[in-house]
Structures are given as structure tokens and as C-alpha cells.
Amino acid sequence: MGFLEKVYDESPILFQNIMASVSGYQRNMTRYGKFYDEYMKFLADFDTWSLERKLEYQRAELIKFIRYAYENSPFYQKLYKNIDIDSVKGIEDLKRLPIVDKEMLRENIDRVITIPHKGAVEGHTGGTTGKSLVVLNTIEDSMKRMAMLDHFKARVGFEHRTMKRATFNGKHIVPPQQKENVFWRYNAACKQMIYSSFHITENNMKYYVESLNKYKPQAIDGFFMSMCDIAGYIERRNIKLEFIPIAIFPTSETLTQSGRELLERVFKCKVFDQYASSEGAPFVTECPNQTPHIELASGVFEHLEEGSDEVLVTSFTTHGTPLIRYRIGDSMKFADKKASCTCGIQAPIVLEIQGRRLDFLYTSDGAKINAGNVSNLFKNMPNALIRAQAVQDKIDEIIIKLEVDKTLYKPEYDKILKDEFLHKFGIGTRIIIEHVDEIPREKSGKFKLIVNNFRGGGQL
């Protein structure tokens, strides 16, 4: 536990709100500025372009980005040493370039990155495989990605930083020793009330609902299952809400139709989904008609091979840690190229996004910790972690299986991880760490970060 976290844990809630706001203002410095403002204007104009013009822009950006990576990243220089990169003149030529996966990036990360650590925006990813990876982003790319996300929300009426939002995420905001039933903190920098996803139990949910009714957010975002848990409680208890949000924006997890219907039924507003990743994958966003479109300005999606739904991503906002033909592990089904949407935005349509899990673990008192929260616990682990899996056979015990790079992994990393889990699950949960040579995959070939064998486990 770091010094600031210790100070936070021992401070009164009022001061914790101040610390959350100060942290928010600090993050704003790398998210909002000249590049953000310029890109927001560009995206508004880009929406009006014809499909042909957008595809030509995408093609030009692709060529420029590949050239940038080749000239600035020692990893890509070596990877492409026997390839004439000038022969890549469009998406159809990408197959001439080799595929890159997360393990390749992890093993070569110092040679992949193109910018110094000082002044870079650091990103952490746990992912659905539990494999940790630290990436560096430029300030410009960080602002462009935030602009892309905020533009997506603005299309349906929500203006970020001028309207109030409620966020359900995995941030450490509630100290383990806290006795008050206050499971949220306020970030004034973004008019954001942050709600803990770690304390959503049947006994606690009434406090969450009371807070939401008092705060009256104009949008709700964050972990899908956490929001569904709150919505289910409201519906079961027939609680009257005193506000109607403009929209709900889930993150980190795959939506189910039943969950979407529950949220829209309870909160009386539409749910708009979006796809991206901590590494910096291109965006897929839902338009006002709730149809998923590829954001052509953000990068390229291509299928791994003929007949496969698994995608490779090339992202134009990853200059610090370039992603070119990156095997991210997710799958998508694309609509016919001739398909169009009545929303007026001309962009390819995505029929289905697969790959993000809805599995969860339980705390000893019955609260569900979803896959998004669990994967976050691995984010601060050094790059020596190859793969991880959390197994729950008992409600008060979690076994963490680790597949590590033995040349880099240090014994003290176990304590770091154990402390992360204990801080989120509480001292009532026994955490057991097991080092294994290999974590087996499922019969389908997919890997599960979470294996919940407890009789109460399941999926929404």
C-alpha cells in the first residue's frame, strides 16, 4: 500500500472526496486540452463525411501509422526487416505484416515503446486473460481517445464535464475499516459520483439507491453487472426513482440483452454500448439507434483468418506503444459492407462483439466482484506475470493460479497481489496463491480469468 493510499484510508470521508477531486483534476491535464478540443471538432465534422471519404482517410492514416512504427520502434523495425512496408497501401495489404500478440509485447515492451516514460501517460491492462501489460501513451493520443469517448456520448445528448454522471468502477474508494454506509466518493473535476463495485450487497444496495436519488445523475456508466445488480434491487423492492438519466454507458463487460432490458426498464432511458481496450484498441460505438458502428477514424479491425470471428486491431491512437495487427483476443461479427443505418452516420456495422466475460467472484458476505474488477487487481503487477486465473470453490476462499516468467518474477510480487485481493475482498476471504507451469484453457480454446465453482456462482 502506497503512502497516499494510506493517508486516504485514514482520512475522514470529506477529505477523501477532496483527494478524489484533486486526483481527478490531475488526470484532466492529460485528458483535456488543445488536442482534445481540436479532435472533438474534427469528429463532429467526420460524422458528416461520406463512407468513401472516411475509408480514404482511414487508409491514409494506416499507411502513416505503419511508417511511424517502423521508424520509431526497434521492435517493429526488426519485425518488418524483410518486408517492404511501402507495399502496404491499404487494409487488404495488412496480411503482408506479421501478427502481434500480448505475450510478444510483454516480452519486448522496452523495444516496442517509442517515447520516454517521463511525460507519458501510463496505461495498465489486466484483460480477460489476466496477463498484465503496461503501455505508454502520448498526451495527444490520450486526449484523442477521451475525445472519441466523449463524442460518442455527446451524440445521444450527454455532455461530459458539464453534466453529472454516476460511475460504478473498481477504484479503491472505500477503506477496509470504514464503518459508515457511504460507498461512494465525489470527483468534482468531472462532476462524477464514483460508486464502489466491491460493496454491492443486498444489505448495502438501499444506500446506493438513496445516494443515486439524492445525486440525480444525468448519465450512469461503468461496470455492467454492478449497474444490473442495482437495477434488479430497485425493481424487486419497487423503489421509485426520482430522476431519469439521459443515457447509460456500460464499460468493460459484454452486454446481455436481458441486462440491457432490465437497465432500460428500471432507469427509463437507453443503454449505449462501446468497445475499446486498455491497450488502446480502436473504437466501436453505438449510434442513437443503438447500432454498433466501427469508428473509422480510430483504426482498423480485420478478422484473424477467413471464416474466423476473432479480430486483429490496428489503432491510430497508440503512438507510444504501437498496436499493429494486434491479436487482442476478442471476436466480432461484421455486417455486410452494403448494410447501412438510418442514424445517418456512414460507417461499417458490427453485428456482435464477443470475448468479454461476465464471470464473477463472491466476497465472504455475498457481494459479487465482476470480471472487470477482478482483472483490475492484476493491473499493477509487473510485466513478469504471463497469465492468471482466480478459482472459487468456497465463498470464503479464492485460489489465484499464476503462470509467470520465472526469470523476472520476484517472490515479493505475491504479497503485492495478495494485498490487492485482500483490500478488495476483505479479511473474511482466504487468498491462496499457487504458481503453476501452465493454466489450462477451456475445451473451446478460450481462457477463463475466473472459474467460479461455488454453488451460487453463475452468469447474468
Query: Do both 252 and 312 map to the same domain?
Result: no
In this structure, is residue 458 part of a structural domain?
no
The proportion of the chain whose per-residue pLDDT surpasses 70, expressed as a percent, equals: 94
Query: CA-to-CA distance for 93 and 59, rounded, in angstroms?
Result: 11
The proportion of the chain whose per-residue pLDDT surpasses 90, expressed as a percent, equals: 71
Query: Do both 49 and 82 map to the same domain?
Result: yes
Please, which pLDDT band fits residue 157 given cuts at 50, 70 and 90? very high
φ and ψ of 125, to 5 deg:
-135, 135
Query: Do both 186 and 265 map to the same domain?
Result: yes
* Res 357 pLDDT > 60: no
* Res 457 pLDDT > 60: no
Query: CA-to-CA distance for 176 and 373, rounded, in angstroms?
Result: 16
Please, which pLDDT band fits residue 62 given cuts at 50, 70 and 90? very high
Query: Do both 326 and 339 map to the same domain?
Result: yes
In this structure, is residue 459 part of a structural domain?
no
* Res 455 pLDDT > 70: no
**Residues 6 or more apart in contact with residue 158 via CB below 8 angstroms:** 165, 218, 219, 246, 247, 249
**What SS3 state is found at 26?**
helix
* Res 60 pLDDT > 90: yes
In this structure, is residue 431 part of a structural domain?
yes
Rounded to 10 deg, the angle between the 139-154 and 13-31 helix axes is 110
Query: Do both 108 and 164 map to the same domain?
Result: no
Q: pLDDT tens digit string along 227-281?
A: 988 999 999 989 999 999 999 999 877 787 888 999 999 999 999 999 998 889 9
Q: Which of these three, 319, 354, 389, is where a domain ends?
A: 354
In this structure, is residue 329 part of a structural domain?
yes
SS3 letters across 323-372: EEEEEEEEEEEECCCCCCCCCCCCCCEEEEEECCCCCEEECCCCCEEEHH
Query: Do both 257 and 172 map to the same domain?
Result: yes
Can you read off the three cell numbers belonging to residue 121?
Answer: 501517460
- Other Cβ atoms closer than 10 A to 107: 15
Q: Which domain holds residue 70?
A: 34-150+276-354
Domain with 400 in it: what CATH number?
A: 3.30.300.30
Which helix H or strand E contains 147, and what residues bound it?
Answer: helix 139-154
Q: Which of these three, 354, 374, 389, is where a domain ends?
A: 354
Query: Do both 14 and 56 map to the same domain?
Result: no
Please, which pLDDT band fits residue 129 given cuts at 50, 70 and 90? low
Query: Do both 420 and 380 map to the same domain?
Result: yes
Query: Do both 225 and 200 map to the same domain?
Result: yes
Q: State the pLDDT at residue 459.
A: 40
Q: Which of these three, 271, 298, 316, is where a domain ends?
A: 271
Query: Do both 262 and 175 map to the same domain?
Result: yes
Please, which pLDDT band fits residue 124 given cuts at 50, 70 and 90? confident
Query: Do both 16 and 49 map to the same domain?
Result: no
Domain with 324 in it: what CATH number?
A: 3.40.50.12780
Q: pLDDT tens digit string along 412-452?
A: 999 999 999 999 899 999 999 999 998 876 654 456 788 88
Sign (positive/negative) of CA torsion 272, 374, 169, 298?
negative
In this structure, is residue 23 part of a structural domain?
yes
Query: Do both 63 and 144 map to the same domain?
Result: yes
Query: CA-to-CA distance for 325 and 323, rounded, in angstroms?
Result: 7
In this structure, is residue 457 part of a structural domain?
no
Answer whether 0.85 is exceeded by the pTM: no
- Other Cβ atoms closer than 10 A to 117: 10
Can you read off the three cell numbers belonging to residue 161?
Answer: 464535464
Domain with 171 in it: what CATH number?
A: 3.40.50
Contact 281, 356 (CB under 8 A): no
In this structure, is residue 206 part of a structural domain?
yes
Q: What Rg value do the Cα atoms of the chain yield, rounded?
A: 22
- Which residue did the predictor score with more confidence, 41 or 456? 41
Q: pLDDT tens digit string along 137-150?
A: 999 999 999 999 99
Q: How many distinct structural domains can be found in the chain?
A: 3
Q: pLDDT tens digit string along 100-117?
A: 998 999 999 999 999 999
The β-bridge relationship of strands 292-294 and 299-303 is unpaired
Using CB atoms within 10 A of its CB, is residue 82 exposed (0-12), middle (13-18) or buried (19+)? Answer: exposed
In this structure, is residue 374 part of a structural domain?
yes
